[in-house]
Amino acid sequence: MQIGIMGSGLTAQTIGSKLVSLGHEVMLGSREEAKPSTVAWAKEEGGQHALYGTFMNAAAFGEIIFNCTMGSASLAALNQAGVENLSGKVLIDTANPIDRTTDRWTLTVSNTDSLAEQIQRSFPETRVVKTLNTVNANVMVDPAKLLERTHVFVSGNDIEAKAVVVRILRDWFGWKEIIDLGGIETARSVEMYVLLWHNLRNAISSQRFNIKVVTSG
């Protein structure tokens, strides 16, 4: 498939490389047509399956779109991508609306709204599914790295789009335990969880972890 990835950072590159390794054609999009980091990524990947371009180029290219921009920049990036290039497509939103201007993370939107809802409202014809934002990039594409099976969550209004994303998570990335939280408004809870992720990272001095939901049987 042709996949468009909004973003040029670690998450975009990690997901991009994983998808290229699976045989997909991937275009990383950024504000500039040839951002040094995306050019370097494409060169490192080699071949004709790793491409780069503007947000608009990547959105037009992708049959499925990943949002891997920083949450504070996501809406601007998607606006540059253009509503016509996103319409009807599944948009997998992995971003977190974190204000990183201070050591103590806070969210730029939370509690009564979320980034995923803002995106869904701004692009009503796009099928937004929130997922993967609760883990580090390396865990996103290789959950088997962890000592036990852990959980990942999906939130979205479009049942078929969620089914597409569940197959991607399972068949491409190797997730075995996927919980459907409900509509796109449940993205609030996974975005708000990120502050606990941040404190856990500090407490255990590692980014390679995730949570497993344990019941009483």
Q: In the complex, what is the shortest distance from the CB of residue 21 to its own copies, in angstroms, rounded to a whole number?
A: 20
DSSP-derived secondary structure letter, 175? -
Rounded Cα gap, residues 180 and 166, in angstroms: 9
Where residue 28 falls (left for φ over 0; alpha for ψ -120 to 50; beta otherwise) is: beta
79 or 199: whose CB is closer to its own copies? 199
Distance spanning both ends of the chain, measured CA to CA: 40
**Closer to its own copies at the Cβ: 158 or 180?**
180
Shortest separation between residue 96's beta carbon and its own copies, angstroms: 13
Rounded to a whole number of angstroms, the minimum distance from the CB of residue 151 to its own copies is 8
DSSP 126-165: SEEEEESTTS-HHHHT-GGGSSS--EEEEEES-HHHHHHH
Site track 110-129 with its own copies (rule: CB under 8 A), x = hit: xxx-----------------
| Alpha-carbon torsion, ordered 203, 139, 30, 187, to 10 deg | -80
Contact window for its own copies (CB under 8 A) among 25-33, 57-65, 159-167, 199-207 = 199-207
Site for its own copies in 53-112 (CB under 8 A): 104, 106-107, 110-112
163 is a site residue for its own copies (CB under 8 A): no
Whether residue 34 contacts residue 40, with contact meaning beta carbons closer than 8 Å, is answered with: no
Q: How far is the CB of 160 from its own copies (least distance, A)?
A: 19
23, 47, 147, 159: residue in contact with its own copies (rule CB under 8 A)? 147
Residue 193 φ then ψ, to 5°: -60, -25
Residue 77 or 115 with smaller CB distance to its own copies: 115
Does residue 82 sit in helix, strand or coil? coil
Tokens of 78: 């998607």
Question: In the complex, what is the shortest distance from the CB of residue 186 to its own copies, in angstroms, rounded to a whole number?
Answer: 5
Q: How far is the CB of 203 from its own copies (least distance, A)?
A: 5
The footprint of its own copies (CB under 8 A) covers 104, 106-107, 110-112, 145-148, 150, 153, 179-182, 185-186, 188-190, 192-193, 195-196, 198-200, 202-204, 206, 208-217
